[in-house]
């Protein structure tokens, strides 16, 4: 039995190793908490990025639909043609002036 006891490290050495391992474990736990917090922030930033992309895509699609509606509207084409004619002749009608005023109020 004495031979077995002599082969084992002393109580002091074992306590020092145990303390060292506990410090390392605590450092790793703190690192895990820090990285988890950072990961949470990155996940929120990524979700925000995806939401911004979705919103921009929706806005672009709405603008495209509005442009398609305006281009397909025969009344808007006739107004555009009348505006082009009045610009080329240098005269402006009261109706056009009213339309310009309406657009500036928007």
Instruction: Tell me which residue range forms the domain holding 71.
Output: 11-105
**CA distances, 79 to each of 70, 71, 73, 88 (Å):** 11, 12, 10, 14
Local structure of 93: helix, strand or coil? coil
Structure confidence at residue 66 (pLDDT): 84
Does the residue 1 lie in any domain?
no
Does the residue 4 lie in any domain?
no
Q: Which helix (H) or strand (E) holds 24?
A: helix 11-72
- Give the tokens for residue 69: 């509606």
Does the residue 79 lie in any domain?
yes
Does the residue 2 lie in any domain?
no
- Give the tokens for residue 18: 């145990």
Local structure of 67: helix, strand or coil? helix
Does the residue 91 lie in any domain?
yes
Indicate the number of domains in the chain: 1
Structure confidence at residue 70 (pLDDT): 76
Does the residue 62 lie in any domain?
yes
**Is it the case that residue 8 has pLDDT exceeding 60?**
yes
Tens-place pLDDT, residues 9-60: 888 999 999 999 999 999 999 999 999 999 999 999 999 999 999 999 999 9
């Amino acid at each position: 039995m004495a031979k077995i006891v002599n082969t084992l490290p002393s109580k002091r050495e074992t306590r020092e190793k145990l303390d060292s391992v506990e410090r390392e474990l605590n450092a790793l736990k703190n690192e895990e908490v820090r990285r988890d917090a950072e990961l949470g922030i990155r996940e929120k930033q990524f979700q925000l990025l995806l939401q911004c992309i979705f919103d921009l895509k929706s806005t672009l699609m709405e603008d495209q639909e509005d442009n398609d509606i305006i281009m397909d509207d025969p009344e808007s084409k006739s107004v555009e043609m009348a505006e082009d004619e009045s610009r080329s002749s240098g005269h402006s009608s009261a109706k056009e002036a009213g339309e310009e005023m309406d657009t500036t109020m928007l």
